[in-house]
Amino acid sequence: MQDRSLPTLEDIERARERIRGSALYTPLDYSETFSRLSDNEVYLKLENLQKTGSFKLRGALNKITVLAESGTLTGVVAASAGNHAQGVAYAARGRGVPCTIVMPEGASLAKIMATQRYGARVVLHGDDYDAAYGHASEIAMREGLTYIHAFDDPDIIAGQGTIGLEIAEQLPDVSAVIVPMGGGGLAAGIAIALKSLRPGVKIYGVQAKAVPAFRHALDLGAIETVPGEPTIADGIAVRRPGVLTFEAAKRYIDDVVVVEEDEIARAMILLMERSKLVVEGAAATTIAAVLGKKVPAGLGKVVAVLSGGNVDVVVLSRIIEHGLVESGRYLRLAVTIQDRVGALRDLLDIVARLRANVLTVHHQRVGSHIHLGQTEVEIDLETRDHAHIRLICDTLRQAGYEPVIRD
């Protein structure tokens, strides 16, 4: 019978010995930029640099090693939106164990392909993690495989808790740690490790407002499945907390905060620009919480765990575009001008004087709102900020144009 109690500090220390040499001891990097923007001394725990691109490898390695040592492991199955999938596949391959992964049908193509490259059989099923979990459980029963839970398992939690041991060594006077929360295994493991070693450390969990399962459960005092909405933080889009992880949250987590989609996107862009780090939406929630003042200022030395870096390039491109628009650094402008020689030059001269960079220009001479002798010019501009956009629009109006901002 599997032990269903929460792991202890000793369990986490044993997990570290099991995974030593297989998982990386990831860097802790001080960020002057985020410290200045948040009124805290911010350090980044770079689990996005972990093998397989995510902290999930730690728990998977620990769990599969424990099972393999029992001598009864013939094959494993897991459900995951991507990161747990890659961690389990990698760990199973290292032990020569057959591996099946069930992923939601909308899972990132990059994560699907990466999981397959680690040797796993990938089955796509359902719209979200919960549907994939149900199907994976059926496969485990039907094929006699061992199910590897993504978070609600003491060995998985212990493996993730090794991050807490590293933080305690890298920053002995740490004041607070901010952790993304989906199923809660990462937050549970880190909290158990750090609260055992440094009882005064504050632990803050962060969820996407689109899927606030832990925040809802803690407010209610009981576990429920939340409806959930689409989120760029797909790695933490878990609609129902685990039994063990909910118990850990009640005992060890000081608070769980939620962040908006725009805040997550902005954090991803700032991490790329200021820290040269590519992280996925789930990982960026910790910086979103810091910048959005969702955790108190003046805490002291605060560690933001960047849990993973497995972001689809197409999704990343869309987030960058959205972030540029949201921050006032990209403008699509439609202006109607006279269809005559020099009219476009006159318009672009104004734009050039205002130091906006023209990215593309498109002419449209036919349309229900375009009169004979006129042409509509749509211009994509690189701008500095919202004030710059207002200056451009105001100047064009003063020159007799009627600029229209396009989405």
Q: Which residues are catalytic?
A: 56, 307
Q: Phi and psi (nearest 5°) for 271?
A: -65, -35
Residue 342, SS3?
coil
Give the residues across from 255 on adjacent strands.
204
| Bridge partner residues of 362 (DSSP) | 378
Q: Strand (E) positions, 165-300?
A: 176-180, 202-208, 255-259
Q: How remote is the C-alpha of 338 from its chain's centroid?
A: 48
Q: Which residues of 123-146 are buried (b: 16+ CB within 10 A; e: fewer)?
A: eebbebbbbbbebbeebbeeeebb
Smallest CA-to-CA distance from 358 within 339, 340, 333 is with 333
Output the CA–CA distances (angstroms, integers) from residue 377 to 360, 373, 383, 388, 402, in the order listed.
10, 13, 18, 20, 11
Token pair belonging to 246 = 């909910």
Which strand (E) or helix (H) includes residue 359? strand 357-364
Q: Are strands 357-364 and 374-382 parallel, antiparallel or unpaired?
A: antiparallel
Taking Cα atoms as reference points, which of 353, 301, 277, 370 lies closest to residue 41? 301
First to last CA, the chain: 57
The sign of the CA dihedral 161, 301, 253, 240 is negative
- State the residue for tokens 């202006």: 335
**Under 8 Å CB-to-CB from 153, ≥6 apart: which residues?**
2, 59, 63, 185, 244
From residue 187, alpha-carbon distances to 181, 216, 245, 312 in Å are: 6, 16, 8, 24
CA separation (Å) from 336 to 120, 324, 352, 370, 405?
56, 25, 18, 8, 12
